[in-house]
Structure 1
Amino acid sequence: MKQAAIYDPYLDTLGGGERYTLSVAVALKAMGFGVDVLWSDKNVLVKSQERFQIDLSGIKIKNDFFKGKALVRKIYSMSKYDLIFFVSDGSVPFLTAKVNWLHFQVPFVGVGGKSLINTLKFKGIGRVVVNSLFTKQIIDKEYGLQTDVLYPPVDTQLIKPLRKEKIILSVGRFSKLLQVKGHDFLINNFKELVDDGLKGWTLMLAGGLGGIKQTDLTQLQKSAEGYPIKFTFAPNFSQLKELYGKSTIYWTASGYGQDENTHPERVEHFGITLVEAMAAGCLVLPVRKGGFKEILGAKFLEYGWDSSQELKARTKELIMRPPALNLVDGSRLRQRALEFSFMKFKINVRKRVNEDFSK
């Protein structure tokens, strides 16, 4: 049995990137690999399974040998593995398994990607994987590479439209780690719509709490007082499915106000929640930034917006349109979302693994 090691320095944040990493582990397990996730907390897989609702049975936790060990000991530990999947924090690791994959979740810039030491390290890395064309453009330029786009897996088959209610939903962690998710911006725009006469609609904000100060969270909640705005903190996947399913409109302002050319790390590199909302037949209104544009594709780019005025105008338009027309568009968006399914992800992982071991 071939053995694979998975390393993600951000694993305990349990965000979209971590779901991607663990999905690689699931795909390798389905191929017959023995899979070890390198981490210090033995409970991280239990937390991940609860958070993402994916089956991680048979995947093991092993001590992280990339931290605090001498190079010789690291080389010895790596020699036990046929494949290593390593998530970069901007740096380039020294990898010595038979097949080595380096994954960039973030479009890093200004990190000296083309340094001599990086050039030497890349000689041992057979495949550099990125999560979107947006990330690819930045990483290829920064590191002087030709990276491989492997889109994140989305449980599009598990997320389905339900009886739609007058809900505008936005999903994204309540934090200011890399991307600012724009919760305050969305709250202010919804308040303006209500003040302008919108009745019967609710804004629902859902997301994890990793990386936000309690004072910032309290301030956000206070800004929503007196308006039909609700919060769902740290929802599990079952809760998210219900929220997506019954919501009519989906908003996301992640990266709004940021220059994606000078600070590409501050916008969405892909946008899993956007795909999830589309899978539920939501009428999506994302800011035209980063990976959101390639998810929409040319056919649906009109759903994007660039300003507060445009967001409110498009929202009013969707609310006033005949329900039958919205139903048709929701169905078309769902079909687009299916192109990013978990099944396609597993097929693409298998194809690449087979290619690399046949060399």
Structure 2
Amino acid sequence: MKAGLFSPYLETMGGGERYFVTTAEFFLKQGYQVDLFWKKETDTAKIYDRFGIDIKGVNFVPDLFSNNENRLGRYLATTKYDVLFFLSDGSLPISFAKKTIIHFQVPFTQVKRNLLTHLKLRNAVVICNSMFTKRHIDVSYGINSEVIYPPVDVENFLPGNKENIILGVGRFFAPLHPKKQEVMVEVFKKLKKVGWKLVLIGGVTGVESQKLVENLKSLAKGMDVEIITDSSLPLLRDYYGKAKIFWHAAGFGEDLNSHPERAEHFGMTTVEAMSAGCVPIVYSGGGQREIVENGSNGYLWTDVDELINYTTRLIDDDKLRESLVRMATLRAKLYSKENFFKAMDKIV
């Protein structure tokens, strides 16, 4: 059996790429020969260092989907695959594989539907990473997609010796999908809790991303704020294990009716934090509302005052925090790799 997998975003190495790489791992474990369509050579050791996922058995092959040359030949090349897994950037593949799976991680809304769109989707299985994404994709493409939640390595994000740390994890990615780290720094300044530290961890890609980091450092000057870029996986796990509280602000201050893509589409870092015994206090938008039950396993905030009040409540009441931790760690287990593999097995 043969599976071909395509993602236009592989080199960004974010949460969505964990989904993609884990899908490759799934097919390898099922005994498939796995081809990854990618325009340049990629080191599987680098992928392992970033995600802790071993895909040494995959083959990196020429990209069939990003090259406009010899289109007919490229389309016909898909016939040799039993399964084609296509992570969409809004586009749809022409596929002659026995089964085509199209995966959406972004709630695209500006979609022009036509006969070709219908033909591309007619025999495809479409999956989304959250109900939030599904609602928008179903309307945009006129389909009824399925939801397979992202796989989180909950077995390896574990509680450690807790310290007075508030943690934020997310790429320093300003233009398209801002994580609003600057909001967290401003709120931490207003929080005024002596003995507490804010730690922001995320990847840096490109000039704009680096500018954002420099601006954050300037904004945080004189405060107990640590900014860590391009962290190793062991260091990231260590901070999850040490932190007591997890903040997330993506979507705050945005018109999410007009721009749903600016919300958090699911919230993999939120699940990682919950698994490691951090109580999540996350902006109430996007996929976060499918993970966090307000007051049960964390808190959902809509304005800065709520974020400060919920955080203060947890800092001042260890018993409350510990009760939420218990519920958070239980909730995180729903998004395990094992459950992801079971869901994928049903559609393949």
Fold conserved (TM > 0.5)? yes
1:124/1:70 CA distance change after superposition, 3 Å: farther
1:77, distance to aligned residue in structure 2 (A): 1.5
Q: Deviations over 1:324-354 (max 9, x none)?
A: 332222011000000000111011111211x
**Paired residue secondary structure (2:80):** coil
Kept in 1, the 8 Å contact 2:246–2:279? The answer is yes
Determine the C-alpha separation between the residues in 2 that align with 1:184 and 1:4: 42
**Paired residue secondary structure (1:154):** coil
Bigger CA drift: 279-288 or 217-226? 217-226
Q: Deviations over 1:164-213 (max 9, x none)?
A: 1000000000112422101111001101112xxx1000000000002434
**Paired residue secondary structure (1:79):** helix
Determine the C-alpha separation between the residues in 1 that align with 2:90 and 2:261: 11
Kept in 1, the 8 Å contact 2:157–2:241? The answer is yes
In the alignment, which residue of structure 2 is the partner of 1:100? 100
Q: Which ranges in structure 1 are unaligned for 5 or more consecutive residues?
A: 354-359
Determine the C-alpha separation between the residues in 2 that align with 1:105 and 1:156: 20
Kept in 1, the 8 Å contact 2:44–2:56? The answer is no
Query: In structure 1, what residue type is equivalent to 2:105?
Result: Q
1:302, distance to aligned residue in structure 2 (A): 6.3
Counterpart check, 1:346 vs 2:341: yes
In the alignment, which residue of structure 1 is the partner of 2:172? 174
Kept in 2, the 8 Å contact 1:8–1:21? The answer is yes
Determine the C-alpha separation between the residues in 1 that align with 2:209 and 2:11: 17
**Paired residue secondary structure (2:95):** coil
Q: Deviations over 1:216-255 (max 9, x none)?
A: 3212111111000001111122111111011000000011
In the alignment, which residue of structure 1 is the partner of 2:29? 30
**Paired residue secondary structure (1:84):** strand
In the alignment, which residue of structure 2 is the partner of 1:187? 185
Q: Deviations over 1:22-41 (max 9, x none)?
A: 11111111111111111122
Determine the C-alpha separation between the residues in 2 that align with 1:74 and 1:297: 46
Query: In structure 2, what residue type is equivalent to 1:338?
Result: K
Query: In structure 2, what residue type is equivalent to 1:272?
Result: M
1:95/1:299 CA distance change after superposition, 3 Å: farther
Determine the C-alpha separation between the residues in 2 that align with 1:69 and 1:81: 21
In the alignment, which residue of structure 2 is the partner of 1:357? none
Q: Deviations over 1:298-341 (max 9, x none)?
A: 773761000001101111111001x2332222011000000000
Query: In structure 1, what residue type is equivalent to 2:186?
Result: N
1:43, distance to aligned residue in structure 2 (A): 2.2
Determine the C-alpha separation between the residues in 2 that align with 1:214 and 1:236: 18
1:23/1:204 CA distance change after superposition, 3 Å: same
Q: Deviations over 1:79-124 (max 9, x none)?
A: 2211100011112221110000011110000221x32220121124
1:302/1:273 CA distance change after superposition, 3 Å: closer
**Paired residue secondary structure (2:3):** strand
In the alignment, which residue of structure 2 is the partner of 1:3? 2
Determine the C-alpha separation between the residues in 2 that align with 1:340 and 1:151: 7
Moved over 4 A (4+): none
Kept in 2, the 8 Å contact 1:207–1:233? The answer is yes
Query: In structure 1, what residue type is equivalent to 2:335?
Result: F
1:53, distance to aligned residue in structure 2 (A): 1.0
In the alignment, which residue of structure 2 is the partner of 1:334? 329
Q: Which ranges in structure 2 are unaligned for 5 or more consecutive residues?
A: none
Determine the C-alpha separation between the residues in 2 that align with 1:262 and 1:301: 29
1:297, distance to aligned residue in structure 2 (A): 4.0
Determine the C-alpha separation between the residues in 2 that align with 1:88 and 1:44: 23
Task: Output aligned runs, 1:78-227, within 5 Å.
Answer: 78-112=78-112, 114-125=113-124, 127-194=125-192, 198-211=193-206, 212-227=208-223
In the alignment, which residue of structure 2 is the partner of 1:356? none
Determine the C-alpha separation between the residues in 1 that align with 2:43 and 2:18: 12
Determine the C-alpha separation between the residues in 2 that align with 1:207 and 1:213: 10
Kept in 1, the 8 Å contact 2:166–2:247? The answer is yes
Counterpart check, 1:254 vs 2:250: yes
Determine the C-alpha separation between the residues in 1 that align with 2:280 and 2:209: 29
Determine the C-alpha separation between the residues in 1 that align with 2:196 and 2:41: 43
Counterpart check, 1:245 vs 2:241: yes
1:47, distance to aligned residue in structure 2 (A): 2.2
In the alignment, which residue of structure 2 is the partner of 1:304? 300
For this pair of structures, how many residues does the alignment match? 346
In the alignment, which residue of structure 1 is the partner of 2:263? 267
Kept in 2, the 8 Å contact 1:94–1:124? The answer is no
Determine the C-alpha separation between the residues in 1 that align with 2:245 and 2:104: 31
The RMSD of aligned alpha carbons is: 1.4
Q: Deviations over 1:34-70 (max 9, x none)?
A: 1111112222533222111111121121111222332
1:188/1:154 CA distance change after superposition, 3 Å: same
Bigger CA drift: 177-186 or 265-274? 177-186
